[in-house]
């Protein structure tokens, strides 16, 4: 299912993406979160704190990754000047997060991938491929990629991006394991190893493609 509030958005695939991605076009000046809502229950000084989301990191120029952002992270995210967020979780986006997107003119691309546990891991290759197209489109930058913890689903998407950047598999796996730690999954690494990037090589690469 795809929910797009701006039907004239002209650079998305209207075919396979219809079933695997929900997008929300938000407009600055919509509903503005007050500081009290963003830091409800916190000390007064919390307004001045910039707290990054769980497992936050920079992937490349204009591309970031993290776990699911909470309201305490909104002030930090504002400093990134995000144009879009890629959410890899299937659950409805929280209302507080939607309001944050509206007030900051950020577009949400939601690719619902279930958070399975081994041995029942099922990573949909077509969905990862469509998400990569969003990542590669510089018009969506700066972009934040996130799932629940910023480990497995986000790690797989970033790992496939690294293959496009011609990283060797050892470096791809090292980066994945840095975030997944003790929760690293053999199935995820097998998926990244087998993922075919050939159909994406024709797309512009607006960031570094150095070999690692």
Annotated domain spans of the chain:
51-200
Among candidates 102, 105, 128, 111, which has minimal Cα distance to 188?
128
Which CATH code of 2.60.40.1930, 3.40.50.300, 3.10.20.30, 3.90.190.10 fits the domain covering 51-200?
3.90.190.10
pTM of the model: 0.75
- Comparing 25-34, 141-150, 169-178, the range with the smallest average pLDDT is 25-34
Rounded mean pLDDT, 159-185:
93
For residue 37, give both structure tokens. 């809502």
| Burial of residue 92, with CB atoms counted within 10 A of its CB: 0-12 exposed, 13-18 middle, 19 or more buried | exposed
62 sits in the region (left: phi over 0; alpha: psi -120 to 50; else beta) called left
- Comparing 31-35, 85-89, 125-129, 180-184, the range with the smallest average pLDDT is 31-35
Mean pLDDT of the chain: 80
pLDDT above 50 (res 211)? no
φ/ψ of residue 7, rounded to 5: -70, -10
What is the CA 209 to chain-centroid distance, rounded? 20
For the stretch 115-147, pLDDT in tens is 766 555 678 899 999 999 999 999 999 999 999
- Comparing 37-41, 106-110, 176-180, the range with the smallest average pLDDT is 37-41
Among candidates 109, 122, 192, 116, which has minimal Cα distance to 155?
192
Active site residues: 147
- What confidence tier does 173 reach under pLDDT thresholds 50, 70, 90? very high
Rounded mean pLDDT, 177-204:
87
For the stretch 69-78, pLDDT in tens is 999 999 999 9
- Comparing 3-12, 37-46, 202-211, the range with the smallest average pLDDT is 3-12
Q: Residue 174 contacts by C-beta under 8 Å, 6 or more apart in sequence?
A: none
φ/ψ of residue 84, rounded to 5: -155, 160
CB atoms within 10 A of CB 202: 6
Among candidates 130, 177, 134, 120, which has minimal Cα distance to 152?
177
pLDDT above 90 (res 161)? yes
Q: Residue 204 contacts by C-beta under 8 Å, 6 or more apart in sequence?
A: 136, 138
- What confidence tier does 16 reach under pLDDT thresholds 50, 70, 90? very low
- Comparing 10-14, 22-26, 182-186, the range with the smallest average pLDDT is 10-14
Rounded mean pLDDT, 78-101:
96
């Amino acid at each position: 299912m795809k929910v797009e509030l701006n039907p004239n958005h002209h650079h998305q695939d209207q075919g396979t993406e219809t079933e695997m991605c929900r997008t929300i076009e938000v407009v600055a000046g919509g509903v503005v979160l007050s500081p009290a809502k963003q830091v409800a229950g916190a000390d007064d000084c919390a307004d001045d704190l910039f707290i990054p989301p769980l497992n936050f990191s920079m992937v490349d120029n204009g591309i970031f990754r993290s776990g699911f952002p909470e309201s305490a992270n909104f002030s930090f995210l504002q400093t990134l000047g995000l144009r879009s967020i890629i959410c890899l979780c299937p659950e409805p986006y929280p209302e507080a997060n939607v309001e944050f997107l509206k007030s900051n003119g950020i577009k949400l691309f939601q690719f619902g991938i279930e958070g399975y546990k081994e041995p029942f891991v099922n990573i949909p290759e077509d969905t990862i491929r469509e998400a990569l197209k969003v990542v590669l489109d510089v018009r969506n930058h700066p972009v934040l990629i996130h799932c629940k913890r910023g480990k497995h689903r986000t790690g797989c998407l970033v790992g496939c991006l690294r293959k496009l950047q011609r990283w060797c598999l050892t470096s791809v796996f090292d980066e994945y394991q840095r975030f997944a730690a003790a929760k690293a999954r053999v199935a995820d690494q097998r998926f990244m190893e087998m993922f075919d990037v050939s159909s994406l090589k024709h797309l512009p690469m607006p960031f570094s493609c150095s070999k690692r």
